[in-house]
Structure 1
Amino acid sequence: MNRLWLGACLEKADYVFLLPNVPILPSAPLDPSFLERPNAAILIELNGNHWRKILTIMAKLTAPDYHSWKTFRDDQLFDKVGMVFSCDQLDHYKGTVFIVGNTFRSAWPVDDRAQSMGYSHHAYVHFPYVWCPYLDYRQFPNVLIEALREHILER
């Protein structure tokens, strides 16, 4: 189990993404403030294009204004978004949880009451949970991002 929590804390996060992969972090000693408010540019620099895509999809899903997702990703994403890497970290969380990819599906299966969204790529929503594809454009195209975002904002 990886107890790492990045970004907005349990009490402040509007959204938490449960991810299967931990990013490479700056070398030790790691400044604790980086964990609370990671720098997106540093994460992208250390982890490459793969994590740029992950952070971009997170921003597109959660930015207050869709058209400003890039600024939101670079400057504000971690004010309202947390990232965790094991299910047990969410025991007391009350906001929206994105269960990313298939890694956690056996521990956290899609609820039978969940609404299916998408056509060739799917996400399932039963608030406060969103079961979604891995955060990569091949699995999570913009059309699904936009549909899911609209559904989340209607809530």
Structure 2
Amino acid sequence: MNELWLGACVDEANYVFLLPNRPVLPDPVDIGFLKKPDVSILIDLNGNHWRKIFTIMAKLAAPSYDSWKVFRDKELLTKVGIAFSLDQLRDYRGVVFIVGNTFREGLPVVSSAQEIGEVHTSFVYLPYVWCPYLDYRQFPNILIEALREYILEKKC
């Protein structure tokens, strides 16, 4: 397991989130869990921090914003992939959320990217979205909603 990938595979993911940190996985971990991970098990193993990460992902990726909680608990990792290194993205053609600052040297924000938000911001140059770490102090609901609206508008 050199390159950890969680959730929907490259060919099936609606979105991919590139994260700088990995969650604790069940021990022993099997390939079946990696392909179809259970959000509730990951939250149990990793605590409130990962509940917040999954919640923000769900709010960004749910088909309807009002259904984010059900989406998080039942569908998130069947529709969203989670990568942990830049080279994992080479075959993916959809929207990629580059989370935090860890990967900005290898994939810098382009000067023509659209800035979304006011106090808290993200930058979009589709298919890339450079966004804050998935924590409400850095990524509040107002930014989630503005970013979601912008991406959905541009994807249509």
3-state SS, counterpart of residue 102 of structure 2: coil
> Aligned pairs, how many?
153
Percent identity, aligned pairs only, is 66
- Which residue identity lines up with residue 129 of structure 1 in the other structure? Y
1:32 CA drift (Å): 1.3
Q: TM-score, normalised by structure 1?
A: 0.97
Give the corresponding residue for 1:68.
Answer: 67
- Which residue identity lines up with residue 133 of structure 1 in the other structure? P
Q: CA RMSD in A?
A: 0.7
Whole-Å separation in 2 of the counterparts to 1:64 and 1:152: 12
Give the corresponding residue for 1:57.
Answer: 56
The runs of 5 or more residues in structure 1 that have no matched partner are none
- Which residue identity lines up with residue 140 of structure 2 in the other structure? P
1:109 CA drift (Å): 0.2
1:36-66 Cα distance to aligned partner (Å, 9 max, x none): 1110100100000000000000000000011
- Which residue identity lines up with residue 32 of structure 1 in the other structure? I
Question: What stretches of structure 1 move > 3 A for 4+ residues in a row?
Answer: none
1:31 CA drift (Å): 2.3
Whole-Å separation in 1 of the counterparts to 2:36 and 2:81: 9
Whole-Å separation in 2 of the counterparts to 1:35 and 1:68: 25
3-state SS, counterpart of residue 149 of structure 1: helix
1:141 CA drift (Å): 0.2
Give the corresponding residue for 1:23.
Answer: 23
3-state SS, counterpart of residue 144 of structure 2: helix
3-state SS, counterpart of residue 24 of structure 2: coil
